[in-house]
Amino acid sequence: MLKKDLKVILETYGCQMNISDSETIIAIIQTAGYRFTKNIMEASIILINTCSIRENAEKKIFSRLQYFQSFKKKGYKFIIGLLGCMAQRMKETLIKEYYVDLVVGPGSYLMLPTLIELAINGEKTINTNLSYDELYRTIVSLKSQKTNIFRFVPIMSGCNNFCSYCIVPYTRGKEKSRDLKNIINEIQILKKIGCKEITLLGQNVNSFFNKKDSIYFHNLLELIALMVPDIRIRFTTSHPKDMSDKTLEIIAKYDNICKHIHLPVQSGSSKILRAMNRKYTREWYLQLISSIRNIIPEISISTDLLCGFPSETELDHQKTISLMREIKFDSAFTFKYSERPGTYAAKYLSDNIPEIIKIKRLNEIVDLQLRTSLLRNKEHIGKTTEILIEGFSKRSKENLFGRTSQNKLVFFKKNDQQYIGNKIMIKIEKASATALFGKSLI
């Protein structure tokens, strides 16, 4: 059978890094001659790019796996491969206990064509070698994406921080910064093909360091800002400990660097931050926020909040609430602690906060954040702001939407496809906790 007759389904879960990796995977598999499909009836290969960050993320993937396996039981002939963080975390257990045919970790995607062939020939196949191959990073420029307008550019991967709750250092390995030449080449290609917004990606994006040329994250940001003055630049996720004044000054200096920082704080209690191994205190983080706002007054700041960590008391939780009141984040991703096997917290700390308390604390955090986001968004009413148009609103084809430099979603009435990818000025008239609504000035 020819490879082009073997069709692949690829599903992606997890963070932007996984979305970006899936684009690379598509390019690798297409180059090898396979074609893609969404129809299970004609699929020979099903690949699931997975996430391990919380137990629920894994549960979702196991139920997907069961769904596909139910078709196999009915006689459909395909192989099932698990890629990504669960593949890295669970390795051969996925083959032995969950009857997966192919297990490939995030460091081995270049080998996918060979590994798929082995699996098709009936061999249970596994590769979870984490030594990232720079070659795999160089082909990123070929990768197929839905749009040329908004593109991810991975600049580093892995994590050396070992926050005590987190599985990522085990699933993504040590921090590795991508070769400068490759990053620059890729951005030059993106410029040529009409890209309008680039998001630099990394688990700790601002820890980027190129030893060979002694280039730090702020040097890289400046280099890119100068190289593509018409392209908007975003980056995520930053670790507070690596957010230097130099980086802040570069963000302030260049118009094309978006005025938004995602800066996960996790908790407002220094005691819990120490137990989490976050490497900063509440006071230090507050000081950092005040420097950020001094240097970049128009900045918007979002965060991640994690409640119910082992031994978190009501007082610790109230410290998170008071930190939120003090900072007034523009938005936040909110989570309750989920024990991850193999992490420091799973080994040495007891998951001793009852589920009902975790839920209560999470609800308080979510409620407060919704009110704060609404307040923050209302500050924009009456102002005129530039947005880059991304597409049609899901709810109505009469409305387009885009984002401001501060990463605020803006909806406005217009049903003309040709505006997508353009920047326009919008007068903001209304705000909700999650979006702004306005009138286009063209």
Judged by the rule CB under 6 A, the positions of this chain that interact with ligand F3S are: 14-15, 17-18, 51-53, 84-85, 167-168, 171-172
Neighbour count for residue 90 (Cβ, 10 Å): 22
Count of alpha carbons within 13 Å of 419, Cβ hemisphere only?
Answer: 22
> Quick one: what does residue 340 bind among ligand F3S, ligand SAH, ligand SF4, none, with the CB cut-off 5 to 8 Å set by partner type?
ligand SAH
Phi, psi of 399 (to 5 degrees): -115, 135
Judged by CB under 6 A, the residue of 199, 219, 266, 404 near ligand SAH is 266
For 19, the token pair is 């979305």
The CA angle 417-423-425, to the nearest 5 degrees, is 105
Residues in the chain: 442
Residue 338 interacting with ligand SAH (CB under 6 A): yes
Neighbour count for residue 46 (Cβ, 10 Å): 25
Residue 88 interacting with ligand SAH (CB under 6 A): no
| Beta bridge partners of residue 45, listed in sequence order | 8, 79
Cis peptide before 237 (omega within 30 of 0): yes
> Quick one: what does residue 34 bind among ligand SAH, ligand SF4, ligand F3S, none, with the CB cut-off 5 to 8 Å set by partner type?
none
Judged by CB under 6 A, the residue of 3, 35, 54, 64 near ligand SAH is 54
Residue 162 interacting with ligand SF4 (CB under 6 A): yes
Residue 344 interacting with ligand SF4 (CB under 6 A): no
Considering the complex, what minimum distance in angstroms separates the CB of residue 153 from ligand SAH?
17
Q: Where are the beta strands (DSSP E) in 100-149?
A: 102-104, 125-127
Number of residues that bind ligand SAH (CB under 6 A): 17
CB closer to ligand SF4, 158 vs 402:
158
Cα dist from 221 to 2, 102, 259, 395, whole Å: 45, 38, 13, 36
Judged by CB under 6 A, the residue of 239, 358, 376, 403 near ligand SF4 is 239
> Quick one: what does residue 240 bind among ligand F3S, ligand SF4, ligand SAH, none, with the CB cut-off 5 to 8 Å set by partner type?
none
Judged by CB under 6 A, the residue of 22, 50, 199, 203 near ligand SF4 is 203
CB closer to ligand F3S, 173 vs 438:
173
The CA angle 229-183-129, to the nearest 5 degrees, is 155
Judged by CB under 6 A, the residue of 157, 161, 247, 320 near ligand SF4 is 161
Question: Quick one: DSSP state of residue 123?
Answer: -
**Of 36-44, 116-124, 332-340, 430-438: span binding ligand SAH (CB under 6 A):** 332-340
Contact call for residues 71 and 79 (beta carbons, < 8 A): no
Residue 411 interacting with ligand SAH (CB under 6 A): no
Cα dist from 95 to 100, 219, 356, 407, whole Å: 5, 44, 35, 42
For 32, the token pair is 């090898």
Neighbour count for residue 67 (Cβ, 10 Å): 10
**Of 56-64, 333-341, 372-380, 390-398: span binding ligand SAH (CB under 6 A):** 333-341
Of 100, 106, 107, 108, which Cα lies nearest the Cα of 125?
100
How far apart are alpha carbons 324 and 365 in whole angstroms?
8
| Beta bridge partners of residue 302, listed in sequence order | 262, 331
Judged by CB under 6 A, the residue of 49, 52, 204, 372 near ligand SF4 is 204
Considering the complex, what minimum distance in angstroms separates the CB of residue 78 from ligand SAH?
32
Of 80, 1, 5, which Cα lies nearest the Cα of 42?
5
Q: What is the DSSP string of 267-329?
A: -S-HHHHHHHT-S--HHHHHHHHHHHHHH-TT-EEEEEEEE--TT--HHHHHHHHHHHHHH--
CB closer to ligand SAH, 144 vs 311:
311
How far apart are alpha carbons 322 and 300 in whole angstroms?
19
> Quick one: what does residue 18 bind among ligand SF4, ligand F3S, ligand SAH, none, with the CB cut-off 5 to 8 Å set by partner type?
ligand F3S
CB closer to ligand F3S, 15 vs 82:
15
CB closer to ligand SF4, 320 vs 440:
320
Residue 239 interacting with ligand SAH (CB under 6 A): yes
**Of 25-33, 158-166, 323-331, 420-428: span binding ligand SF4 (CB under 6 A):** 158-166
Considering the complex, what minimum distance in angstroms separates the CB of residue 117 from ligand F3S?
26
Question: Quick one: DSSP state of residue 178?
Answer: P
> Quick one: what does residue 169 bind among ligand F3S, ligand SF4, ligand SAH, none, with the CB cut-off 5 to 8 Å set by partner type?
ligand SF4
Residue 166 interacting with ligand SAH (CB under 6 A): yes
Considering the complex, what minimum distance in angstroms separates the CB of residue 9 from ligand SAH?
26
Which residues here bind ligand SAH, judged by CB under 6 A?
Answer: 53-54, 165-166, 168, 203-204, 237, 239, 264, 266, 304, 306, 335, 337-338, 340
Which residues here bind ligand SF4, judged by CB under 6 A?
Answer: 159, 161-163, 166, 168-169, 203-204, 239
